[in-house]
Amino acid sequence: MSDRYLVTGGARLSGEVFVGGAKNSVLKLMAAALLAEGRTVLTNVPEIADVPLMAEVLRGLGAEVETRGDRVVIDSPAMPEYHADFDAVKQFRASVCVLGPLMARCRKAIVALPGGDAIGSRPLDMHQSGLRALGAHSAIEHGCVVAEADRLTGAEVALEFPSVGATENILMAAVLADGVTTIDNAAREPEIVDLCQLLNQMGARVSGLGSSTLTVVGVDALAPTTHHVVGDRIVAGTWGIAAAMTRGDVTVRGIDSRHLNLVLGKLEHAGAQVRRLDDGFRVTQDRRPEAVNTATLPFPGYPTDLQPMAIGLAAISEGLSLITENVFEARFRFVEEMQRLGADARTDGHHAVIRGVPELSSAPVWSSDIRAGAGLVLAGLVADGVTEVHDIEHIDRGYPHFEENLRRLGGTIERISG
């Protein structure tokens, strides 16, 4: 049996919580270390389960990796191995981000199709078409992405959708390609900007950071560097929404609040008082939240990773909320678990209609992914009695010191093993 949480409802969260580096950035930064021979150091690394998993992937490719607290040291070899096998990558989706660096360094890559969260289809078509535009041959063979090129040449790449993963892989392949590459309709997430900043520190020539068009002038070689990982806006947003749901008062530090402008604006519409700080924000909610509509979109839109928390907030708000999911079609699995807790919610395609109730009722629930797990814990905080949240290994992959931080804010949570 997997571990589970026992969450006691009724607590009003109050206090201060620090957010470490972003899960959605650090794993890609670790992969980018393969682009330069020598020692790259990452600081502000979150203590989450996916970091040692990525370390194992890199070790399988010939790198030496040392993890110590919030630091990761990666010593990349003169020539990495090019085959990331299934055992290394099956446990999490981000492992596919080694594809771009391996093509850049080795001109060849074999990467097993990755595993990860059950939130819907995430095909690699755009990753492959981008590499083909740079001159590679790429196909799916025997459960692996297989790519090879005699040389990579800069090209104009137009993405059908601003895919974060495709943007990252094409970007990392292009930094060592001949000539100039432009990526149109590129993802604009802060984690993409963080990757670009690391690459430029290593000697790459990437411009257009934060815009939908990235321009990459290829260089002959990169050098290792030291880099501070950007703060995790998804973890920060989770704590901010938790404050609103529990009618609490929580200060979140370690994050640029501009990365959550839309989320914080939604909390203000729900009746919260939000104060932006130099290194974070403070959310205070002194009455029952009001219903707000939310639609997920690529950055700067509302993050799909915070959709479960939006549903949790809607479930106990006053009025009717419409939640629209535009990114991952299977993310509404979360609604079924919320219904176990007494949420008045219905789904229809990409939409969920939720009529808020004053209080949820405790029940056993199951996590299907990282964010669903955290969302169910938040729902347990506003349910009567004790809610059992199962399959919490998902939460460990994205939230460092989750139960410790929750207890520090006044929540009652107990981890049961086995």
How far apart, in whole angstroms, are the C-alpha atoms of residue 266 and residue 282?
14
Q: Determine if residue 159 is left, alpha or beta; phi over 0 gives left, psi from -120 to 50 gives alpha, anything else beta.
A: beta
Q: Is 326 annotated as a binding residue?
A: no
Q: Are 82 and 102 in contact (CB under 8 A)?
A: yes
Instruction: Indicate the DSSP class of residue 134.
Output: T
- Residue 39, annotated ligand binder? no
Q: H-helix or E-strand containing 345?
A: strand 344-348
Give the gyration radius of the chain's Cα atoms. Answer: 21
Neighbours of 258 (CB within 10 A): 11
Query: Is residue 110 a contact partner of residue 144, using CB atoms and an 8 Å limit?
Result: yes
Cβ atoms < 10 Å from Cβ of 50: 23
- If you write DSSP's letter for every residue of 234-248 in order, what string do you get? HHHHHHHHHHHHTT-
CA distances, 237 to each of 87, 186, 349, 351 (Å): 33, 24, 25, 22
Whole-angstrom CA distances from 324 to 164, 223, 310, 354, 378 are 20, 43, 10, 11, 20
Helices (H) and strands (E) in the chain, counts: 14, 26
- Say whether 93 counts as a known binding-site residue: yes
Q: Other CB atoms closer than 10 Å to residue 192's CB: what's the count?
A: 23
Q: Are 158 and 182 in contact (CB under 8 A)?
A: no
Task: Give me the sign of the Cα torsion angle 401, 402, 407, 408.
Answer: positive
DSSP 283: E
Residue type, 384: D
**Annotated binding residue at 24?**
yes
Has 178 been annotated as catalytic? no
Catalytic hit among 50, 117, 249, 391: 117
Q: Which helix (H) or strand (E) holds 64?
A: strand 64-68
SS3 content of the chain, % helix, strand, coil (to 5): 35, 30, 35
- Contact between 313 and 241 under an 8 Å Cβ cutoff? The reply is yes
Instruction: List, edge to edge, every strand of the sheet that includes 386-390.
Output: 364-366, 386-390, 4-8, 412-416
- Is 108 a known ligand-binding residue? no
Q: Give 178's strand partners.
A: 153
Q: Specify the 3-state DSSP secondary structure of 14.
A: strand
Binding-site residue positions:
23-24, 93, 305, 327
Residue ranges of the binding site for phosphoenolpyruvate: 23-24
Binding-site residue ranges for UDP-N-acetyl-alpha-D-glucosamine? 93, 305, 327
Tell me which residues are annotated as active site.
117
